Every structure is written in structure tokens, then in C-alpha cells.
Structure 1
């Protein structure tokens, strides 16, 4: 029960990695606020503990104000924020337009900023907090057509490092997680084609499942990681050799 008496907000909680994170934190004792563009009732049905389901677009700051307000109204506190929601666009640079660029940045990067604006004050009151931002191991790979996606995910790392400096004296840690291609509903359309070269390049010769990602999240959001902040943790079966 490493997360007993903690309240965790998880975006993109309706399926895939977000669902796995939500159920795992609940199993460890947390009350979970499930945030998604679509009703995350399927995830809520898998959790026996307390949950709050919120349908919201995380690319808008007013939605984050509502998420924070509803979280406090229901639970009286907020301790953990997992910025997992994201979108993926594959566009060669000559086909990438500003509208797509802005859309990718708003969901994959702006949302992390908005979450900090509205949840850091709540965490400071308790002198304890955990932010985990889901980035991607793609930032270290040679893949075409992903300039907007990679820029947004690399931006996450810069924001994490900057925010960690701002809140390190308040008992709040901020870290990023870089998963590999993972078998989720969101990747179902491409997994059969993309998986063979990914698996061949990994040290662990299988595609990642959502449950492979959540152990690192559970650690980073626990008391055990109290002295770890501003870091980028790669969880990808040994594909991206970062050092």
C-alpha cells in the first residue's frame, strides 16, 4: 500500500497505458481521478477503491482549472499528477502544417504546463507531490515524419527539468518517463507492421505491454523516489541506450 492516502490524477486514463497506471495506483492504495476525452467508465469499473471520472480536453487551461476544482471538492487534496494523455501525428515535413503542429504541442506539451499551474499550489500546501510526464523513447531514434511529435516529447523533458528546479524545495518531485512502442488500443492500427523492427532492435525481444510501464510510475510517485527529480527514465526494453 505504497500510495495509501494519496490522490492521483491520471490523464488519458480511459485505456492503454493510462488505464494500467490508474489501476496499479489504485491497487497500491491511491484514490484516482480518471481524466480522458471520452468517458473513462471502463477504467473506473476495474477499480474497487475511490475514483472520480472527469471528461476533459487537457489542451485547454480552463479544463485543468475544472479538473483541480473537482478533485479538491471530492478528495480535499491532490498529491500525484500523471500527464499521460498524448496524440501522435506522422507527417513528412513538407506535409506538416501549423494547425497540426499546434495541435500536437497543445496536447503533448501545453497540458503539462497547465497541470503544474493548477496542481503545484495544492501540493505545496502539503509539502508533498509527484509529477510524472510521459515522453517517448522516439526522441533518441532515427524515425522519419515525426518532427512535431518528437519536438513535443523533447519539450516535455525540458519542462520537467525546469519545473523540478522550481518546486524541489517544496517536497515535490518532477520526472519524465520514456516508454517504447507499447501494445495499446491507440497503436492497434500499426502494431503488426511496426513491432518486428522495434523488437529486433531491443534487448528484450518482445513488444511492450501497458503493465511493463507502470512499475516505474509506481516507483516515481512513491516515497521511495523522494530524492529523485528532474530525471528522464527510459522504459523500452533496451532500445534507446541513453548512456
Structure 2
């Protein structure tokens, strides 16, 4: 599943699960643009030493079209192409479980702006470059919450449900241009950010561990194999519009 020489964008790639994705892609030889509103300069330095690939941090607000346009322009100017887009940026770790009728509209809009509009904007500006080259891979990060429902997390689950529709529709629009679009959907994952920022959410979400076929907590490294499969030539050029659910067998698809 080598990605040697490939140019990859990872949104939200500076911390949490995104940082694990970035590190894995660099280890496989990719030039990884870490697009995040969180400072990723230290991660850039760390991942650019002694690895086959390298990391480049570009501060980006995925919910702002001009910021996304600037990111894509930078990548094209510096490397001439974008081979893989990983739409990972999302608001989750800081969200407190809240009953549906108590979710503030401003928070709802912010979640949709980052989680859904962010993915749309990256696809809007990256897709044409991939289509012009006749090749490319887009991996949208979904969530098992949109399949099973998650009380108290309606805003997040709804945003990820919309990512499913975005993935399936874009797969049809971009397929004729040689671009494949798939979705990786994790189960609840104990990333460093969610453990640090939201222990209350951890307590609620971990209750589902007992319903998994594999009875243990899930960690970011559990997602790496599936991510590399979808991002690399290992998945071929005929797999598109699909969801790969990685959750220890909690849900069967």
C-alpha cells in the first residue's frame, strides 16, 4: 500500500486521529499537507525526519472557502497535483452530549460548517484538479453514529450522515473522470484529543464496547490499515461510492 511520491492533503491532520493518519501516510512515502486550524508546525518537523515521505503544515480553516482555495493553490503550485484527499476535519472531541431540543442553533451551524461544508469545499476545489488529470482518490471520514444513531449527538451524527450522501453522489459525478470517492467510518475511537478534552463523552460512548464483536476499546491505529487501503492503489480503481466501517464488529453492513 505504498504511497511513495504521492501528494496527499489531510484536513484536521495536526492532532487526534488526523495526526495518526498523517504519520501513517508519511511513513508510506507520501508528501502530506497537514491542513488544520490547529498549529501543526511541531508535527511537521517530527514527521519530516527519518521518514520516506514528509509533512508540510498549512494553517487552514476548512469552513472558509478562501482558506481552502489558498490551500489547494499552494499544493498545486508546489507539487503540481493532488493524488489523495483525506477529509478528516470535524468537530467532535469538544461536543458535550446534549438532548436534541437543547442544541443551540449556532452550535448546530458550526458543526455543519466544519464537518459537512468543510468536506464539500475541499471536494469542490480539489476535485477539478483530479478530474483534469484523470486520476485521484478522495476518502471522506464518516462515523458509525450516523448508522446506529447516538443520543445526545444529533448534530454530529446528522453531519456524518450527510457525508454518506456526499460520498455517494460525488462518486457518480467524478467516476467518469477516473476519480474514486469512498468513506471510512470509524466506531468510537479513543484518540488523545477526545480523552483529554471530553472525558464525559468517553464515559457515555464506551458503553458500546460490550456490543462489539471484538470486546475492547478502539484506538486510532486500528484505522490505519483501512485508510491506507482506500488511499492507495491497493483498493484498485473500481471501488467507489462505498463505506468501509471499522468498529470492531459493533455494526454489520
How many residues end up aligned between the 2 structures? 242
Detail structure 1 runs of 4+ shifted over 6 Å in the superposition. Answer: none
For 1:202, the equivalent position in structure 2 comes to 212
SS state at 2:188 partner: coil
- Root-mean-square deviation (Å): 1.5
TM-score with structure 2 setting the length? 0.91
1:161 is displaced (CA, Å) by 0.3
- Matches for 1:224-243 after TM superposition, within 5 Å: 224-225=234-235, 226-242=237-253
Inter-partner Cα distance in structure 1 for 2:144 and 2:91: 15
Range that drifts further, 133-142 or 101-110: 133-142
Compared CA separation, residues 192 and 107, structure 1 to 2 (3 A): closer
Instruction: Tell me whether 1:172 sits opposite 2:179 in the alignment.
Output: yes
Measure, in 2, the Cα distance between the counterparts of 1:129 and 1:235.
23
Q: How far apart, CA to CA, are the structure 2 residues paired with 1:119 and 1:142?
A: 31
* TM-superposed deviation, 1:38: 1.4
Unaligned runs of 5+ in 1: none
Distance 1:80 1:10 in 2: 9
Distance 2:202 2:132 in 1: 47
Confirm or deny that 1:85 pairs with 2:89.
yes
The whole-number CA distance in structure 2 between the counterparts of 1:193 and 1:98 is 26
1:115 aligns with 2:122: yes
- CA deviation after TM superposition for structure 1 residue 142, in Å: 4.4
For residue 142 of structure 2, what is the aligned residue in structure 1?
135
Partner of 2:190: 183
Matched, 1:146 2:156: no
Gaps of at least 5 residues in structure 2 are none
1:195 Cα shift? 5.7
State the TM-score, normalizing by the size of structure 1: 0.94
